[in-house]
Amino acid sequence: MGSKPHAWRTPQAFDTALAVVMCATAGLSLYAASDPELSGPFADYPRALGISAVIVTNLALAFRRRFPVATLALVAVTYIPVGIGEVPEPVVSALALFVAFYTAGAYGERHRNAVRSVVTVMIVAGVIWGIVRQPPEPYEGNVPIAVLHVLGALSNTAFVIGGWMLGDLVRDRRLREARLEAQSIALAGAQVDLSRRAVLAERVRIARELHDVVAHHVSVIGVQAGAARHILAAQPEAAQALLGSIEQSSRDTVVELQGLLGLLRQEGDDAGTDPRPRLDRLPALADLMHDAGLSVVVDLDGLADSAELPAGVELSAYRIVQEALTNVLKHAGPEAKAEVTVRCRSSSVEVVIVDDGVGPRAGSPADGHGLLGMKERAALHGGELRTGRRDGGGFEVRAWLPVRTRP
């Protein structure tokens, strides 16, 4: 937790202290100007006007940040007697005018800063009027009064231009910093949103992987268990073989789940079980389906000769085949046969799964998450997936996945 700043460190306290110090300094300067030996004819000035002008001109700076444009107008009006030579205190009061100009530019509203132009014209006109009304006569060995007025006009102009430019520079810097801060906040919000979307996408990917792994193996186990139950009494040896296949399917499910969960626990670590099946494992998948009662023929065209496929494309192709065969097993009917053709080329992977069964009925589970998951996998890589009944009976799943060559 940050500590509360001391009261004397606040901007208002600083402005008040600055106004008091400048007022005291201007008072000392005005007191010194009262000595005829130091100021010559300037020592004869209206005391009430001089004291009032010095006090108001400098004390007005205490409110410069709260009312920047009003402070400039007040300082400019009270500075007129100094500018035309009525009050011999041109140094500190001119500095106050500079600070007022700077503050109006740095903290005032830009559309109201036309006041600075009016004040500038007013000050220059006052100085010129002071030069005209004072005769250019020297006094005992000192510089002519006209020359002093010209020097005063130049110094006042330099102060006005300097304060004007410095105020604009500071204002522009503050606006840039505010824009950068706003952009930083916006970028932080966008980063949070991207992180949230990444988490959501990862959840969808995990859900898809879990569906593919669990749904496939559990479906196979269910089919095998049902078959074993029907033939247990009549064909105990065949039932025992099915039970062995169920055992193997259960182990495969556990292995794939462990691999998937291991990947989630150790993201980026290649060690451990690889949960990403490769296309060269499709014959083993066909054997598993055969054990479940589905005859599957696998044709891998170009896999051995093709370049190494991107892991995501290969995984998606394998999962599409796995999900399609699972649907055939569940919905194609008894004694159905399936053919899997995978064509690997340098620019694409094409997967075709056809069966001769009755095919899924509208509204069946095959029309739900399974087909949707396959379509999402194809779309993820910019590919496409088409499904439908075949003219001669059965069902067809055809997927095309582009392979983006590495630069």
CATH classification at residue 353: 3.30.565.10
184 and 304 assigned to the same domain: no
Residue 147 lies in a domain: yes
Q: How confident is the model at residue 8 (pLDDT cuts 50, 70, 90)?
A: low
Asked if 58 and 92 touch (Cβ cutoff 8 Å), the reply is yes
Which parts of 232-342 fold into alpha helices (H)?
A: 236-265, 282-291, 311-331
HSE (CB half, 13 Å, CA atoms) of 167? Answer: 27
Q: Which two tokens stand for residue 46?
A: 């209206």
Q: Which of 145, 164, 188 is the last residue of a domain?
A: 188
Place of tokens 């088409």: 386
300 and 154 assigned to the same domain: no
Q: How confident is the model at residue 380 (pLDDT cuts 50, 70, 90)?
A: confident
175 and 317 assigned to the same domain: no
Asked if 60 and 69 touch (Cβ cutoff 8 Å), the reply is no
Nearest to 264 by CA among 205, 330, 181: 205
The pLDDT of residue 354 is above 90: yes
| Max avg pLDDT among 120-129, 243-252, 254-263, 283-292 | 283-292
Q: Is the pTM of this model over 0.95?
A: no
Mean pLDDT of the chain, nearest integer: 75
180 and 307 assigned to the same domain: no
| Max avg pLDDT among 87-91, 99-103, 348-352 | 348-352
As a whole number of angstroms, the longest Cα–Cα distance in the chain is: 141
Residue of 356 and 136 predicted with greater confidence: 356
The string of pLDDT tens digits covering residues 104-132 is 888 877 655 677 777 777 776 766 666 66
Residues of the domain holding 333:
296-407
Residue 220 lies in a domain: no
Nearest to 312 by CA among 335, 358, 285, 279: 279
The string of pLDDT tens digits covering residues 213-246 is 666 667 777 777 777 777 777 777 777 777 777 7
Number of compact structural domains in the chain: 2
